[in-house]
A = this chain, B = another copy of it.
């Protein structure tokens, strides 16, 4: 496989990754609405540590744990913003 074949594969993978991150965001949004209704805090450090531990446990490589967690810190960040303002995200603002 040459560089352009690998890039085609990467574009396919990005299609799946974007779909799954979006599905994860929908789930986070659903949790945000439940929390809002029950006046529960958005930020739950215990749950975030759980997510990071899970990611570390299932990492098959070749990315070192540190780098993969780097990506997940960003994922968690954007999910948290979405939970803080679910309506704004819906309107595309």
Known: A59-B22, A70-B74. A51 touches B14 (CB 8 A): yes
A45 within 8 A of B: no
Q: What is the chain B residue whose CB lies nearest that of A90? A: B62
Report Cα–Cα, A2/B26, bound state, in Å.
Answer: 14
- Is the CB–CB distance between B64 and A21 below 8 Å? no
Report Cα–Cα, A78/B17, bound state, in Å.
Answer: 15
- Cβ of A81: which chain B residues have Cβ within 8 Å of it? 67
| Cβ contacts A59-75/B at 8 Å (1 or 0 each) | 11111100110110111
Which residues of A does B touch, CB under 8 Å?
1-3, 6-7, 9-11, 13-31, 34-35, 47, 51, 54-55, 58-64, 67-68, 70-71, 73-75, 77-78, 81-82, 86, 89-90, 92-93
